[in-house]
Structure 1
Amino acid sequence: MQSYKFRLQPNKEQRKKLDNMFGCSRFVWNYFLDLNNKIYLEAKEKDLKKKHLNYYDCANKLTGLKKENEWLKEANSQALQQTLKDLDAAYNRFFQKKSGFPKFKSKKNNQSFRVPQFFELKGNHSCFPKFKEGIKTVVHRKVEGNIRYATIIKTKTNKYFVSITNDFEVKKKRISNNSVGLDLGIKDLVVASDGQKYNLKINEDNIKFLHKQISKKKKGSKNRKKAILKLAKRYEKIDNQKQDFQHKLSDKICKENKLIAIEDLNITGMLKNHCLAKSMSNQSWYSFTTKIEYKSKRYGGEVVKTKRFYPSSKTCNHCGYINQALELKDREWECPKCKTILDRDINASKNILSQVLRELNLKGEGSTRLKPAELSSIDEAVKQEATRSLVYW
C-alpha cells in the first residue's frame, strides 16, 4: 500500500461542515468508550467473560443514538461506523497487550475521521459523501493505484489535510547488497555498524519561553488563544523536521543495504524510566523503525531484529567479553580482556549485526539472505572506525 498526504483548502462553509463531522466522530467515540468502560469495570468486578461491546453491538446502538441526537445525521454515516470499527480495534489491541487502554478524544488535539468508501480525487478536488461538490486540494504528486480509503485531518494549527491510502505496491531499486547493524540511541538517533552516526539537532530554546507566555495570559482571552496557536505551530514545525529527517535517512539506509539488523527494543517499558523518557520520546524510535521496515520491503531488502535483552553495548565486538560493570554514562570503554578501546554505540551496532547473522545461520537461513561475497564485505565494514555525523537544522 502507498499513502499520499495533501493539503485541503476548504471554504468557510466547508470548514464549518468539516468541524461538525469531526465533532460527530469524536462524540461517537467518546460515548461508546464511556459505555465500554462501564461494561469493562463491571465485568472485572463480577468476573464476566464479555468485557466490552464489539463493533456490531455498538453499530446497533448507534441507530438509537442518532434518533436521540438528530445532529448526528449531518455526518457521513459510514465515517461514524468506521469510528466504531476503530474503537473496537483499539480494545482488541488492548486485550492482546499490544497497546494501552483506549483514551477519550479532545477537540484540543488533532481531529480526524475516515472515509472508507466513495472517496474520489477529481483533478484538484477531493470528493466524498456530504462533500460531492469537492474540497479544493493541493495535489503535488500523481496518485497511482486504486484508492482504498481516505482520512480527513485537522491539525492543532487549524490546517486541513487528506491522507489517501491506495493499493499501489511501490518497488524501488537498491543500489547495493550490503548489510548494516543499527543501534538506536539518545545522543544520536542512529549509529551504524560502519561507524557512521546520524543525529538530528533542533533548536528548542523558545519552547519554554512560549509556555511561559501562555501562563501569563488570562484564561479564555484572545491573546491566550494566539499564544497557544503560536506554540502549536512551533511544535508542528519541529515534528515536520523530524519526519523529514527520518524519511530521508531511512530511505538512504534501505537503498544501500539488503539486510538491516536492529534491536528488538521494549520501547513502552523503557519510557517508564522518567529520567530518560523525554529524551527517548524526542528521538521517536518507533516511528523510525516503522519507516525502516516498510521501506526495506520496497527496496527488496529485509529487517531482522535481535533477541530482546541481548547485551549489545556490554559485549566487546573483538573478543566477546561481556563488561557487566558498564554504565549508561560510559560512552567509551576499554575491554579488560583484549584492551581494545570501544565506542559504546559503534560497538553495539557491530554486535547487533553479528548477532543477527549468527541467529540466521543457526536457522539455516543465512545463505538465502546473503551471498559469501556479501558476508566478506560485512567483515571489512566492521573494521571501519571512522565516524561521520549527519546534522539537520
Structure 2
Amino acid sequence: MNEPLDIRWSRPLPKDAPPSSVTISKDCANRYFISILVEDEIEHVPANEQAIGADLGLKSFVVLSTGEVVGNPRFFHKDEKKLGKAQRCHARKKKGSKNRDKARLKVARMHARIADRRRDFLQKLSTRLIRENQVVCVESLAVKNMVKHPTLSKAISDVGWSEFVSQLEYKANWYGRNLVKIDKWYPSSKRCFDCGHLLDSLALDVRQWDCPECGVHHDRDINAAKNIVAVGLTVLNACGESVRPGRALSRSGKTQRSRKP
C-alpha cells in the first residue's frame, strides 16, 4: 500500500474530558513533532524592584543598562558557507531524482538547525530577563523597514530582534512582569545620560564618545540602555503615554539642551 502519509492528525477526546487535543506534525526536514494542547494556569513570579533597559544591536545582541553585554551568536553567519555549498549541490541535481530529494533534505536540515539554535538562545535569554526583572524596557524597532538596508539586511535577519521582543511580551504576561516599548525615534544613543545633552548626529561607527557639555565618557550602547530604562519608567508611570524625541535642533541650527529623562 502506497497511501500518502497524513502529516497532521488530531484525536478528539470524549465529551466529558477537559478540552485538549493531540497533534502530530512533520516539518520539511522530516522531523516529527507531537503537540499536546491543554489548559493551564501559569503562576506569577514574586514581584521585585529590578528594572533594566535593553539596547538591541548587531555587534552585541543586547546591551543592558546594568552593563551586561550579551554577544551576537550569528548562527546563520557561522553556517552560511556550508549552507551555500549544500544549496549549490541541490541545484545541480536532476529534477525529480532521488539524489535531488536527498540534497533538498540536507538543505532543510541545515536551515532547521540554524533556526533551532537561534530559538533556543532567544528562549533562554528572554526567560532569564523576565524572571530577574520586574520591568524590561526595549525600543520599538521597525524590522521590516530595517531589513531593506543594502549591506546590513542579512545580519538584521540573522539576529532575530522581532522574535526576541515577542517572547519578552508574552512571557511578561505569563509571569506578571512589565514590558515597556519606547518610541523608535527616541535618540537614546545621542543623549547624554548624565546631563541630558543631545548631540546633532552620531555616526554608526562611533562606539564611544565624550559629552561636550559635562565631559563624561560614554559607551554608546550602555548609554543608550540607561536612557531606554529611564524613559521606559517614565512611560510606565505615565500610564503608557508615548515619548517622542522632540526637536533636536533649534532654529539657529545649534544643539538644544534637554533635561535628563
- Range into which the TM-score falls when normalised by the shorter chain: 0.7 to 0.9
* Counterpart mapping for 1:248-259 below 5 A: 248-259=124-135
Report the CA distance between 1:246 and its aligned residue.
0.9
The aligned counterpart of 1:213 is 89
CA deviations 1:18-41 (Å, max 9, x no partner) are 15xxxxxxxxxxxxxxxxxxxxxx
Task: After superposing the two structures, state which structure 1 stretch, 182-191 or 248-257, moved more.
Answer: 182-191
CA deviations 1:47-78 (Å, max 9, x no partner) are xxxxxxxxxxxxxxxxxxxxxxxxxxxxxxxx
Q: 2:122 aligns with which of 246, 250, 255?
A: 246
The aligned counterpart of 1:285 is 161
Q: 1:119 aligns with which of 12, 18, 21?
A: 12
CA deviations 1:312-349 (Å, max 9, x no partner) are 11212122122232122222222222222222221111
CA distance in 2 between partners of 1:186 and 1:346 (Å): 14
Distance 1:191 1:171, change over 3 A: same
Q: Secondary structure at the match of 2:91?
A: helix
CA distance in 2 between partners of 1:267 and 1:146 (Å): 40
The aligned counterpart of 1:173 is 45
**Residue 343 of structure 1 aligns to which amino acid in structure 2?**
D
1:233 has 2:113 as partner: no
Q: 2:35 aligns with which of 136, 158, 163?
A: 163
1:313 has 2:206 as partner: no
Aligned length: 235
CA deviations 1:124-151 (Å, max 9, x no partner) are xxx9xxxxxxxxxxxxxxxxx9545565
CA deviations 1:211-244 (Å, max 9, x no partner) are 2322333333322221221121111111111111
Distance 1:165 1:276, change over 3 A: farther
**Residue 291 of structure 1 aligns to which amino acid in structure 2?**
Q
CA distance in 1 between partners of 2:179 and 2:229 (Å): 11
CA distance in 1 between partners of 2:102 and 2:155 (Å): 28
1:199 has 2:71 as partner: yes
The aligned counterpart of 1:99 is none
CA distance in 2 between partners of 1:364 and 1:220 (Å): 56
Q: Is the 8 A contact 1:119 1:147 kept in 2?
A: no
- Higher RCO, 1 vs 2 (CA within 8 Å, ≥6 residues apart): 2
Task: After superposing the two structures, state which structure 1 stretch, 154-163 or 215-224, moved more.
Answer: 215-224
Q: What are the ranges of 5 or more consecutive residues in structure 1 without an aligned counterpart? A: 1-11, 20-112, 121-126, 128-144, 366-393
Distance 1:332 1:151, change over 3 A: farther
Instruction: Please identify the structure whose Cα radius of gyration is greater.
Output: 1
Q: Is the 8 A contact 2:58 2:72 kept in 1?
A: no
Q: Secondary structure at the match of 1:18?
A: coil
Report the CA distance between 1:280 and its aligned residue.
1.3
Q: Percent identity?
A: 36
Distance 1:324 1:154, change over 3 A: farther
The aligned counterpart of 1:302 is 178
Q: 1:261 aligns with which of 137, 145, 150?
A: 137
Q: Is the 8 A contact 1:262 1:352 kept in 2?
A: yes
The aligned counterpart of 1:78 is none
Task: After superposing the two structures, state which structure 1 stretch, 324-333 or 240-249, moved more.
Answer: 324-333
Task: After superposing the two structures, state which structure 1 stretch, 197-206 or 243-252, moved more.
Answer: 197-206
Report the CA distance between 1:271 and its aligned residue.
2.1
Q: TM-score, normalised by structure 1?
A: 0.54
Q: Is the 8 A contact 1:192 1:346 kept in 2?
A: yes
Q: Where is the helix percentage greater, Structure 1 or Structure 2?
A: 1
Report the CA distance between 1:199 and its aligned residue.
2.7
**Residue 140 of structure 2 aligns to which amino acid in structure 1?**
D
CA deviations 1:344-386 (Å, max 9, x no partner) are 2211111110111223334499xxxxxxxxxxxxxxxxxxxxx
Distance 1:151 1:327, change over 3 A: farther
CA distance in 1 between partners of 2:18 and 2:71 (Å): 37
The aligned counterpart of 2:152 is 276
Distance 1:357 1:160, change over 3 A: same
Task: After superposing the two structures, state which structure 1 stretch, 171-180 or 206-215, moved more.
Answer: 171-180
The aligned counterpart of 1:353 is 229
CA deviations 1:163-189 (Å, max 9, x no partner) are 334331212424843111111112222
CA distance in 2 between partners of 1:195 and 1:164 (Å): 40
